[in-house]
Structure 1
Amino acid sequence: MGKRKVFIRTDISVPQVEHDINAEGNVIILPEAIPSGNTVISFERNSSSRRTFDFARWYGSGIDAITYACQRQIERFVAGQEGTLSVATVAGYCNSGLVQFLDFCMLRATALERELTLNDLNRSLVESYLSHLSGQELTTTAQKNYYAHAKAVLHALGRRGIFSLVVSGSDATFPRNPFPNINRKVKGESALSKRERQEFAAALRQAIKPILTNDTPPTGELLSYALLVVALHTGRNATPLLEMGRNCLRPHPKDDAVFLVLWKRRGYNTNKVAIRAESKTERVVEAMPSVRFNVERLIRRVMVLTEPLDTEAPDDLKGRVWLYRSRASNTVGQVTSLTKGTLNNGAARIVADYGLKDSDGNPTRINIARLRKTFANRIFEITDGDLATTAAALGNTPRVTDQNYLAPSENSRRNWRFMGELLVEELLTATIGATYKENPLGRCADPAYGEFAPKREGATCMNFMNCVRCKHYAVTAEDLYKLFSFYFRVLSERSRIGKRRWAREFSHIHRLIDDYIIAEGLRRGTFKHAAVEAAKKRARIRPHPFWSVDLIGSLEVFS
């Protein structure tokens, strides 16, 4: 018997673009479908403040077909037809993507003095939009965000065949990389200094006292203070903390600890961090104001105070920890939960009430991103620079933790300043490696008149890109760390330069290191396999300072 064919049931309520194909094979929108009967998109409760988005203003402006297609695509996103996008993400597509793109399309239609159709969604229009964004008073990161949010909607339309999507080649609808090196232009949050952290923690201890002493359900402001305490001591992200459930505290194998378990949307997985449990001694003296509270006790106290509100909470908020009665004029008395806006207001309030100032005398900026970096640097400091432990505490990989969360300490800054002064002095006096003739890759028998040296009196060879093929170059087991640091620094250039240039100038280097230097050293017994693997692992996680991308932005200076 043949295999039975299974027919997939189609939900006819799913939003579709009412279109047809003309004789030329182009998609045309049916005139009777424009404008849409309801131009307003409603969003469920989400972490953003957006609840609706209206497309009405773009209809009748010469871009009806594009507006209609974009509205239908957003409706499909909301209906869950294009993957598991969060409501906040879809709202971002509208407010930080389509607003700017559709406004540009209106200007384009006016300039061309004709109606824009779906056939106009091509490389020329996209490049014109990018040029339009660059002419605005926007940072590069803002331009990138506006473009990426609009592209997500248009790309989904193209995949469904609503317009002709070209995915590769010089005529590709979307340029491959319109914002190169954007990560270098993004300035992330910095960690709080030791003084700022201590002052902020002291202010929080005072601010949350009503939660520990009063038996009435706390206000949104007090709950925001409590959440900031949890963020400061656990380093978790904002959304998992805001959506913390009432079953978030789980048993830990050790008696003096519990797990705080949170849900991470992006990873579709739980994330847990161990926190110190409340001891019997603390319970006996908990009324003493001098005794420091712990995070587990604070969370359990909040859950006790907010439990009566859980039965009145809307279905999408049931089981949340941070419940309170709204005092807003249009929702007074209704049970709601903390949002990012409420949290930001609470952070601003505590800074103002307790006069928290940074080193420049300005009000201290407090947000979850800064608290997460503060937590990371504190763990790194406590563990004496243990990157693996710090990464595990954050729930990140060591590479992400090192690149995005850790900042140099004051001692590190002083050491770097000293090294910089010393390097300048040695360069000016031509005394680099004068004692042992060491260089950033290993050792050199003749740094002045070697094979690739400048061969001038008083000049020192800085042509490190050719060291691995120079007959005067030598590597000992102690030099493996520097060699592999250079190795990974060269590999990182692949994402920065063109393919042909990489093949011409850099591709030979890692082959020489792997196939000749390391292989020959292992064969002769000069290197031990364990030492090679240890040096490689160390260089990958924390490269030698000379080959750090922060110190040397481009290897061209050594070419």
Structure 2
Amino acid sequence: MGKRKVFAKTDLSIPQIEHNIDTAGNVIILSESVPPKITVVSFGRNTSTKRNFDFARWYGAGIDAITYACQRQIERFLAGQDGAPSVTTVVGYCNGLTHFFDYCLLQAMAFERALALDDLNRNLIDGYLGHLSGQDLTTAGQKNYYTPTKSVLAALGQRGFYRLVISGDEATFPRNPFPNSNRKHKSETALSKRERHEFTVALRHAIKPIWVDGTPITGDLLAYALLVIALHTGRNLTPLLEMSRNCLRPHPKDDTVFLVLWKRRGYNTSKVALRAESKGERLLEAMPSVRINIERLIRRMMVLTEPLDSEAPDDLKGRVWLFRSRASNAAGQVTSLRTNILDSAICRFVEQYELKDCDGKPLRINISRLRKTFANRIFELTDGDLATTASALGNTPRVADQNYLAPSEDARRNWRFMGEVLVQELLTATIGATYKDTPLGRCSDPLNGQFAPKHDGSTCMNFMNCLRCKHYAVTAEDLYKLFSFYFRVLTECSRMDKRRWAREYAHIPRLIDHYIVAEGLRRGTFKAAAVDAARERARAKPHSFWSVDLIASLEVFS
């Protein structure tokens, strides 16, 4: 017997694009399929506020083929096909398509014909990018509309519905249409020490009702508890919102538990160790001044919301953040915390406790800021241990350093050392005219300077603070002394505790490289050749004042 032919089975529940192929190999959408009987795509429950999207208004206007193909692709995403993005991600895809469809309508009117799938090419994409740039949108806003559109169209191209060009000058999608967009986007910053203190005090007061039996569980109360957990664990928003009732797992140490959250984007879990509640803490549980124990708070929330779990919709069963809705259209129904509910609760919280930032404006609170605050706090407590901070965040050291860590107050003061110094003399090319020579450069007032002893006519010898003194200056002739000091500081790294060096000296080489030298080159005060020559001379034979043999320790100048 010959080999039996096996026919592949097709799942008819998966949305398909009804089409034919013409003689030229182009995909032709069947006219009887457009518009489809149902033009509304339902998202169901998700972390956004959108529950459906209607494609109807783009049918019958000359872009039916593109609209139909995109609708079917969205439906396939929701059916778990083609990479199975999350529902919230698909909501974002639809938001991006609105601008693209509107642009296609303009193109159909300009061409005086209906657009087909083979019109999806580089010219159309370049035109769309130009259309976005003409809107009242920031670069980040343009990118937020373009990227979701590209995801949908790329999926169609990969399935062969139009000719997708991957590379070259005719590539369907330009390689980098928004260069340096990350530099134009102002990311969140960590809370300052004052802001963090005031926020923590207010939050501790706001969650007091949680410990009182019989307190009604509201969305605001759950939101405050979630903020406490975010502040102390540095977790991301979606994993926190979807925290399950089995999130606390055993830890090898008796006084510790793991908080385990699911990360959708990475298809992985995120673990953070929490200090478990001690017997001593249980005896003091009525005292509000006792330091918040996160494990105890999570278990308390589980106890308070457990009665609602049996009434929760199937997709919310097992969640921690359950409460009865007070909305008029769903009063009494069990629901869960969502992004919009959390945002509204935060606004009320900031207003109620009159929280202000350093400019006197209402304090801006969100999970991203709390994650960065957590990162900077860990970095501070570990004396600048980047590896430990990255591990606590669940990131690589490079990502943690570039995206989460901000300079401390001391570091910011060190980086602002120029301030009022040198500006006039740099602009008038009279630098050095009023300055006295020092082992590190020049000083305009070595007797009464910012860090001078200021008694009995003593000359300032506090050279470790020169870089942040407003009386300090450096000319091209001083580069040799400056780089000699630079290499002496680096030498200290091998002569003392690494953490202490990172805390007390690490900023000095960075200041010299990234501010003094870079600023001098930018202004034309220094020539690149002179900088390189001074650097190599100091490396080979440092200035006698900064010789390791001459000075046993830099501490004498601190």
TM range (shorter): 0.7 to 0.9
| 2:472 aligned residue | none
Q: 1:544: Cα distance to partner?
A: 4.3
Cα gap change, 1:5/1:184 in structure 2, threshold over 3 Å: closer, same or farther?
farther
2:353 corresponds to:
354
CA drift at 1:37: 1.2
Match of 1:268 in 2: 267
* Residues 1:330 and 2:324 aligned together: no
Where do 1:478-497 residues align within 5 Å? none
What are the Cα deviations for residues 506-541 of structure 1, in whole angstroms up to 9, with x where unaligned?
xxxxxxxxxxxxxxxxxxxxx9xxxxxxxxxxxxxx
Aligned length: 473
Give the C-alpha shift of residue 331 in structure 1: 1.1
Alignment partners' CA distance in 2, 1:22 and 1:334: 53
State the SS of the aligned residue for 1:20.
Answer: strand
Residue of structure 2 in register with 1:339 after alignment: 338
The one-letter code matched in structure 2 to 1:15 is P
Distance in 1 of aligned mates of 2:186 and 2:5: 55
The question of 1:16 aligning with 2:11 is answered: no
Map of 2:43 onto structure 1: 43
Partner of 1:369: 368
Equivalent pair of 2:219/2:341 in contact (CA under 8 Å): yes
The answer to whether the aligner puts 1:27 opposite 2:27 as a matched pair is yes
1:214 Cα deviation (Å)? Answer: 2.6
Q: Contact 1:215–1:305 (CA<8 Å) still a contact in 2? A: no
Question: Structure 2 matches for 1:287-298, cutoff 5 A?
Answer: 287-298=286-297
Partner in structure 1 of residue 70 of structure 2:
70
TM-score (norm 2): 0.77
Identity fraction in percent? 68
- Matches for 1:419-438 after TM superposition, within 5 Å: 428-429=431-432
Distance 1:327 1:30 in 2: 47
CA deviations 1:129-161 (Å, max 9, x no partner) are 100100111000110111111000001111111
Higher alpha-carbon deviation: 20-29 or 352-361: 20-29
Kindly state the Cα deviation for residue 383 of structure 1 after the two structures are TM-superposed: 1.3
Q: Compared with structure 1, are the counterparts of its residues 423 and 404 closer, same or farther at alpha carbon in structure 2 (3 Å cutoff)?
A: farther
Bigger drift between 109-118 and 174-183 goes to: 109-118
Question: Offset of 1:8 from its aligned partner?
Answer: 4.2
1:418 aligns to what SS in structure 2? coil
Counterpart of 1:41 in 2: which secondary structure? strand
Secondary structure of the residue aligned to 1:66 is helix
For residue 24 of structure 2, give the secondary structure of its aligned residue in structure 1.
coil
Given residue 26 of structure 1, which amino acid in structure 2 is its aligned partner? N
CA shift for structure 1 position 274: 1.3
Q: 1:264 to 1:546 in 2, by over 3 A?
A: farther
Could you tell me which runs of 5 or more consecutive residues in structure 2 were left unpaired when the two chains were aligned: 442-474, 495-507, 530-558
Shift of 1:10: 2.1
Q: CA deviation at 1:252?
A: 2.2
**2:170 is the alignment partner of 1:188:** no
Give the counterpart letter for 2:369 in structure 1: R
Letter in 2 for 1:43: F
Offset, 1:264:
0.8
Tell me, yes or no, if the aligned pair for 2:415 and 2:511 is still in contact at 8 Å. Answer: no
Q: Does 1:232 align with 2:214?
A: no
Inter-CA distance 461–9: structure 2 relative to 1 (3 Å threshold): farther
1:202–1:460 CA distance, 2 compared to 1 (3 A): same
In the TM superposition, residue 317 of structure 1 has moved relative to its aligned partner by: 0.8
Cα distance in 2 for residues equivalent to 1:551 and 1:60: 63
1:263–1:270 Cα contact (<8 Å) kept: yes
Q: Deviations over 1:464-523 (max 9, x none)?
A: xxxxxxxxxx99x969979xxxxxxxxxxxxxxxxxxxxxxxxxxxxxxxxxxxxxxxxx
Q: Which amino acid aligns with 2:37?
A: G
Please tell me whether Structure 1 or Structure 2 has the larger radius of gyration of its CA atoms: 2
The change in CA–CA distance for 1:2 and 1:88 in structure 2 (over 3 A counts) is farther
Q: Is the CA contact (8 Å cut-off) linking 1:236 and 1:394 kept in structure 2? A: yes
Aligned equivalents of 1:285, 1:3: Cα separation in 2: 77
Query: Quick one: distance in 2 between partners of 1:115 and 1:548?
Result: 56
Aligned residues: CA RMSD: 3.5
- Post-superposition offset of 1:44: 2.4
- Aligned residue type for 2:336: S
Measured in 1, the distance between the counterparts of 2:91 and 2:14 equals 19
Matched, 1:147 2:146: yes
Show the counterpart of 1:317. 316
The change in CA–CA distance for 1:399 and 1:378 in structure 2 (over 3 A counts) is same
- 1:294: Cα distance to partner? 1.3
Matched, 1:210 2:209: yes
Given that 2:209 and 2:215 are in contact with CA atoms closer than 8 Å, whether structure 1 keeps it comes out as no
Task: Tell me what 1:285 maps to.
Answer: 284
* Whole-angstrom distance in 1 between the partners of 2:515 and 2:440: 26
SS in structure 1 at match of 2:296: helix
The answer to whether the Cα contact below 8 Å between 1:217 and 1:324 also exists between their aligned partners in 2 is no
Matched, 1:173 2:172: yes
- Return the alpha-carbon distance in structure 1 between the equivalents of residues 516 and 369 of structure 2: 21
Question: C-alpha separation between the residues in 1 aligned to 2:395 and 2:69?
Answer: 39
What code does the residue aligned with 1:233 have? H
> In the aligned structure 2, how far is the partner of 1:63 from the partner of 1:393?
50
Residues 26, 119 of structure 1: 8 Å contact kept: yes
Q: Which amino acid aligns with 1:314?
A: P
Letter paired with 2:120: L
Distance of aligned partners of 1:274 and 1:305 in 2 relative to their CA distance in 1, 3 Å threshold: same
Where do 5+ consecutive residues of structure 1 fail to align? 438-457, 463-473, 483-526, 528-541
Q: Which residue of 2 aligns with 1:412?
A: 411
Q: Secondary structure at the match of 1:272?
A: strand
Q: Residue 48 of structure 1 aligns to which amino acid in structure 2?
A: S
Q: Secondary structure at the match of 1:255?
A: coil
Q: Distance in 2 between matches of 1:137 and 1:85?
A: 29
Q: TM-score, normalised by structure 1?
A: 0.77
Partner residue of 1:490?
none
SS in 1 for 2:311: coil
Whether the aligned pair in 2 keeps the contact of 1:217 and 1:306 (CA below 8 Å) is: no
Separation of aligned partners in 1, 2:35 and 2:411: 62
Aligned partners of 2:9, 2:293: CA distance in 1, in Å? 53
Deviation at 1:293, TM superposition (A): 2.8
- Once the two structures are TM-superposed, the CA of residue 188 in structure 1 deviates from its matched residue by 0.5
Measure, in 2, the Cα distance between the counterparts of 1:258 and 1:139: 44
Deviations 1:297-323 (A, max 9, x none): 111111001111111111111111101
Structure 1 residues 148, 344: closer, same or farther in 2, change over 3 A?
same
Q: Tell whether the 8 Å contact from 1:217 to 1:305 is kept in structure 2 after alignment.
A: no
Query: Quick one: distance in 2 between partners of 1:416 and 1:289?
Result: 41
Rounded to whole Å, the distance in 1 between the matches of 2:276 and 2:209 is 21
Assess, with a 3 A threshold, how the Cα gap between structure 1 residues 480 and 361 changes in structure 2: closer, same or farther: closer
Any conservation in 2 of the 1:216–1:305 contact (CA below 8 Å)?
no
C-alpha distance in 2 between matches for 1:364 and 1:394: 24
For residue 412 of structure 1, report the CA deviation from its aligned partner: 0.7
Shift in CA distance, 284/159, structure 1 to aligned 2, threshold 3 Å: same
